[in-house]
Structure 1
Amino acid sequence: MTTTKNGGRAVGAAAAAAEPARDAAAASNAVFNRTIVVVIIGSVMSVLDMTIVNVALRRLSEAFHAPLETIQWAASAYTLALAAVIPTAAWAMARIGAKRTYLTALVLFTLGSLLAAAAWDAGSLIAFRAVQGLGGGLLMPVGMTMVMRAADRERLGRAMALSGLPVIIGPVIGPTLGGWLVDTASWRWIFLVNLPMGVLALALAAKLLRPDAPRTDGGPAPRLDVPGLLMLSPGLAVLLFGLARGGETGGFSAAGVLGPTVAGAVLVAGFVRRALTAREPLLDLRLLRDRTFAAGIGTLALFTCGYFGSMLLAPMYWQQVHGMDAKTAGLLGAPVGLAVGTAMQFAARRVDRMSPRRLIPAGIALGALGMALSAFQVGVEDVAAWRVVGSAMVMGVGSGMVLMPTMTTASRGLPNDRMAAAGTALSINAQVWASVGTALISVLLGSAGADPAGFRLAYAAAAALLALALIPAALLPGRRP
């Protein structure tokens, strides 16, 4: 009888001890679910805006009676403002907290959308797009940081997969929605469509996001690294401007291209030197001493360079070689977006249970193969559209196996208080190398000629860049998480 009583007490004690753990797990899961809902809505708004505006540039040129080269600054202003503000994300989260920083980003983006819809000439549109860019530049790194902080390390891949859902929605819906709005309503609606989503995201963020302390370690809020900011933010903006101009003009020898590119590179190099020696740098580059994070950054740099650099090729190929209109060319890109997003959902979850060194290099190899197949197909005269799209979908599946799984792997082992710096570094890495890839592929295509032979060479170069990512990927962890 005594033994039975003692056994009953032990079982009861064990159950009582397990109850707080279950409550803590349930509370953690609720925080994660609320965070991911808010981040997905904000990301969808941002991705849709970029894809919608790109298909409306010609209509904006007609509406404002301005040259297309001037209206393209509406896209450039967004990108440059985005590049300038991203470096402040980690400091802002440490200073005022991630929730307040995210709310600020949503306000700036939504306000910029409203102002852009009310633009009266090309100059005002460009200025208001810069306001949008200030908000958009904070949405990605802050959202990524909140997701990484809220997720259990064992389920970080699943969390990153969910936060990657906008990658599916944007390329599929954006061009079609943008074309429909421009054709049936007005160019103003490509910006007004952001308002209901922005208001919804603001309301949900204010209600659902958990208030967070500016610092997780209880220490004083950091001072802004003003010298670092004055080097990195303008350095990134000027560098990206120079790369974009080089891609547009087909070379880097002109003073208006070479000057900004070199000046931006010098400023960024100066920031790197400062960041490795300053006590409280704007961005903690000591993260690169972590082998896994450094390998992830290197893998993403090369893969992003080839992947995003190749994105300009398909629309140009369909329009210049096959004479299709922009809307049809955009629709032919939708299956590739679906392939990327779908593969990402499976692979980002799979990396929670298998060796990154097996999954990610396999994706790189598949992506490079698909890009090489695309190079072969576009060089064939009168090739069937399904063959080109099919090759691109193979590349898309490989890309989905690489992008989010590599981000997950790079950040999984970092402590919570370094997640903000990691999210900011990953965002800057993506912006810089996407611009480098776009410039390189643009210059290569411009020098080779926008004919089947030129497109074949450009796709082959993109395939080589993807394949080079296998080198740093070999340093990723060989064990399961």
Structure 2
Amino acid sequence: MSRMAITLIVGALGVVFDTTIVSVALNNLAEDLDTTLSTIQWVSTGYMLAVFVTIPLAGWAQSRLGGCRLWVVTLGGFLAGSILSALAWNATSLIAFRIVQGLAGGIMMPLMYTLLMQTAKGRNIGKVMAIITVPTALGPILGPVLGGLILSLADWRWLFLINIPFCLVGIWLARRNLPDDRPEAGRPRVRLDTVGLLLLCPGSAALLYGLSQVDGSAGFASAQVLIPLLAGIALVGGFTVRALTRASAPLVDVRMFRHRSVASSSTLLFLGGISLFGSMMLLPLYFQQVRGATPLGAGLLLIPQGVGALVARGLAGRYMDRVGPRAVALVAFAFVAASTVPFAFVTADTDKILLMAALFARGVALGAAMIAPMGAAFVGLEHEEIPDASMITRVAQQIGGAVGVAVLIVILQRNIGDAHTPDALADGFDHAFWWSVALTAAAMPLCLLLPDPPEPTPPTADKAQDSSKD
């Protein structure tokens, strides 16, 4: 398990760092490539849309190629996209090559969850989740800082060249350490649900695109938001109806929601995504717009939250295996809401030490709040059900993040209005952070729906183990 975990984490770090590094570089990219911010933001938006297109393909692709070969192929695709992005000659080519990266990255993250969960076979889920979340915990810590350092010391192309060692070492480790799990030669091959693919992938991408276009005074009422949102809802709805009535295996088995573990965990991850990604948008903007910090400075100020999330891994995993995910999630979401409250009172002169202490506490709570429902989703599932659960929970978290960013952007813009002074801007951020607190608190009752804590080991089993040791 440990060698497999290290192998997967090394490869996944390139994907996680790539997302957070680029987020602090949009202004520089717009200047260097002589384009507008509205155009260059597609470097991030196009990547996210591509990720959504391929997430549903992870289960089918694994059944055809096997986990090891699929991991190597997608890591190679991400490497190719990184090299091409570094060689981009204008904004259009950079956006296109970022989409190549996203197509590979969309499969890699749910595949990592699936491989480790299938290896664990339902045992020590808390410990497994602590391992799986290493890349997502390190990304917010190191990504913005690396991005700021690269831009201050070198050309923007190094934002993508830095992925090369992660990819090369990841491929080498995968070929050495991952088991050869290719399907047997005579085994019937799983057919691709082509119609489901044409419904779900564009539908998910349309939903994300619509949410990403929420800006200006019109907010959700604008045509550029409503048209893709309604189209996405119609396509995803059509896929759901078809998947529920389809006799053979659909692209994603939505009947997995009959498991309380999957249904409750996905809902919590959706709300957790709102809190995580929404605040990841608000916090850097506050430090830059109200406090006048540079991108590197904002990244450094956010380090305590990432460190807190890293610390939470071991604690949350240990207590999940002892008391179950329900209690861990309930306490964690309560602390996320409580540790966000100080930001609802921020001014232009709030002490940075106080804010960094609150960020550390929030990071610990947020890390546990994401780990608990992620692990709970796999409780009681069969080996062949794990890929669908991985995809469903991943999509729920990502859509929650898109919703969180969209909603909080509208709230922030409407409260900032024409404000230009730091104090007036801070008042607008106060309102947005209060909404973040409320959305997080809404998740707390749902924590009670997570699976029951594990039953204690019978005394006879313990005695048998002790006698065998003697």
TM-score > 0.5, shorter chain as reference: yes
Distance 1:390 1:464, change over 3 A: same
Aligned equivalent of 1:244: 212
Aligned equivalent of 1:459: 433
Tell me how far 1:172 sits from its aligned partner. Answer: 1.8
In the alignment, structure 1 residue 390 sits paired with structure 2 residue 357: yes
Query: How far apart, CA to CA, are the structure 2 residues paired with 1:76 and 1:59?
Result: 17
Aligned equivalent of 2:458: none
SS in 2 for 1:210: coil
Question: Given that residues 109 and 132 in structure 1 are in contact (C-alpha distance below 8 angstroms), is that contact kept between their aligned partners in structure 2?
Answer: yes
Question: Given that residues 167 and 337 in structure 1 are in contact (C-alpha distance below 8 angstroms), is that contact kept between their aligned partners in structure 2?
Answer: no
Equivalent position amino acid for 1:271 in 2: F
Aligned equivalent of 2:22: 53
Instruction: Encode CA deviations 1:7-55: one digit per residue, 9 max, x unaligned.
Output: xxxxxxxxxxxxxxxxxxxxxxxxx223211111122111111111111
Tell me how far 1:393 sits from its aligned partner. Answer: 2.5
Aligned equivalent of 1:309: 278
In the alignment, structure 1 residue 473 sits paired with structure 2 residue 441: no
Query: How far apart, CA to CA, are the structure 1 residues paired with 2:78 and 2:64?
Result: 21
Aligned equivalent of 2:422: none
- Where does 1:4-23 land on structure 2 (aligned, <5 Å)? none
Query: How far apart, CA to CA, are the structure 2 residues paired with 1:214 and 1:362?
Result: 42
Question: Given that residues 247 and 438 in structure 1 are in contact (C-alpha distance below 8 angstroms), is that contact kept between their aligned partners in structure 2?
Answer: no
Aligned equivalent of 2:402: 435
In the alignment, structure 1 residue 186 sits paired with structure 2 residue 151: no
In the alignment, structure 1 residue 350 sits paired with structure 2 residue 348: no
Deviates more, 1:241-250 or 1:344-353: 241-250
Aligned equivalent of 2:256: 287
* Unpaired runs of at least 5, structure 2: 420-424, 456-470
Question: Given that residues 11 and 169 in structure 2 are in contact (C-alpha distance below 8 angstroms), is that contact kept between their aligned partners in structure 1?
Answer: no
Deviates more, 1:125-134 or 1:250-259: 250-259
Tell me how far 1:426 sits from its aligned partner. Answer: 1.2
Query: How far apart, CA to CA, are the structure 2 residues paired with 1:118 and 1:283?
Result: 36
Query: How far apart, CA to CA, are the structure 1 residues paired with 2:189 and 2:390?
Result: 19
- Where does 1:92-111 land on structure 2 (aligned, <5 Å)? 92-111=61-80
Question: Given that residues 336 and 366 in structure 2 are in contact (C-alpha distance below 8 angstroms), is that contact kept between their aligned partners in structure 1?
Answer: yes
Q: Pick from 217, 234, 241: which aligns with 2:202? A: 234
Aligned equivalent of 1:10: none
Query: How far apart, CA to CA, are the structure 2 residues paired with 1:446 and 1:94?
Result: 46
Question: Given that residues 332 and 365 in structure 2 are in contact (C-alpha distance below 8 angstroms), is that contact kept between their aligned partners in structure 1?
Answer: yes
Distance 1:439 1:289, change over 3 A: same
Tell me how far 1:389 sits from its aligned partner. Answer: 2.4
- Where does 1:79-478 land on structure 2 (aligned, <5 Å)? 79-214=48-183, 220-247=188-215, 251-279=219-247, 280-376=249-345, 378=346, 380-449=347-416, 451-478=425-452
Distance 1:281 1:215, change over 3 A: farther
Equivalent position amino acid for 2:13 in 1: V
Instruction: Encode CA deviations 1:47-99: one digit per residue, 9 max, x unaligned.
Output: 11111111122111121111121111111111110011111111111222122
SS in 2 for 1:453: helix
Equivalent position amino acid for 2:27 in 1: R
Question: Given that residues 379 and 451 in structure 2 are in contact (C-alpha distance below 8 angstroms), is that contact kept between their aligned partners in structure 1?
Answer: no
Question: Given that residues 110 and 195 in structure 1 are in contact (C-alpha distance below 8 angstroms), is that contact kept between their aligned partners in structure 2?
Answer: yes
Instruction: Encode CA deviations 1:126-146: one digit per residue, 9 max, x unaligned.
Output: 100000001110110001100
Equivalent position amino acid for 1:259 in 2: I
Distance 1:204 1:36, change over 3 A: same
Deviates more, 1:198-207 or 1:172-181: 172-181
Aligned equivalent of 1:13: none
Question: Given that residues 94 and 215 in structure 1 are in contact (C-alpha distance below 8 angstroms), is that contact kept between their aligned partners in structure 2?
Answer: no
Larger radius of gyration: 1
Distance 1:156 1:355, change over 3 A: closer
Deviates more, 1:302-311 or 1:108-117: 302-311
Equivalent position amino acid for 1:95 in 2: R
Question: Given that residues 122 and 378 in structure 2 are in contact (C-alpha distance below 8 angstroms), is that contact kept between their aligned partners in structure 1?
Answer: no
Question: Given that residues 247 and 440 in structure 1 are in contact (C-alpha distance below 8 angstroms), is that contact kept between their aligned partners in structure 2?
Answer: no
Distance 1:433 1:287, change over 3 A: same
Deviates more, 1:106-115 or 1:254-263: 254-263
Query: How far apart, CA to CA, are the structure 1 residues paired with 2:131 and 2:217?
Result: 38
Distance 1:121 1:97, change over 3 A: same
Q: CA RMSD in A?
A: 1.7
Query: How far apart, CA to CA, are the structure 2 residues paired with 1:467 and 1:344?
Result: 22
Distance 1:190 1:381, change over 3 A: closer
Query: How far apart, CA to CA, are the structure 1 residues paired with 2:271 and 2:160?
Result: 33
Equivalent position amino acid for 2:75 in 1: L
* Unpaired runs of at least 5, structure 1: 1-31
How many pairs align?
447
Question: Given that residues 250 and 442 in structure 1 are in contact (C-alpha distance below 8 angstroms), is that contact kept between their aligned partners in structure 2?
Answer: no
Tell me how far 1:215 sits from its aligned partner. Answer: 8.1
Query: How far apart, CA to CA, are the structure 2 residues paired with 1:249 and 1:133?
Result: 31
SS in 2 for 1:349: helix
- Where does 1:25-36 land on structure 2 (aligned, <5 Å)? 32-36=1-5
Instruction: Encode CA deviations 1:107-165: one digit per residue, 9 max, x unaligned.
Output: 11000000001111111101000000011101100011001011142222112211211
Distance 1:268 1:363, change over 3 A: same
TM-score (norm 1): 0.90
Distance 1:248 1:353, change over 3 A: farther
Tell me how far 1:247 sits from its aligned partner. Answer: 4.3
Query: How far apart, CA to CA, are the structure 1 residues paired with 2:159 and 2:107?
Result: 21
Question: Given that residues 175 and 330 in structure 1 are in contact (C-alpha distance below 8 angstroms), is that contact kept between their aligned partners in structure 2?
Answer: yes
Instruction: Encode CA deviations 1:210-267: one digit per residue, 9 max, x unaligned.
Output: 0114389x96222111111101100111110110011477612222221111111211
TM-score (norm 2): 0.92
Deviates more, 1:387-396 or 1:128-137: 387-396
Equivalent position amino acid for 2:274 in 1: C
SS in 2 for 1:412: coil
Query: How far apart, CA to CA, are the structure 2 residues paired with 1:326 and 1:185?
Result: 15
Aligned equivalent of 2:462: none
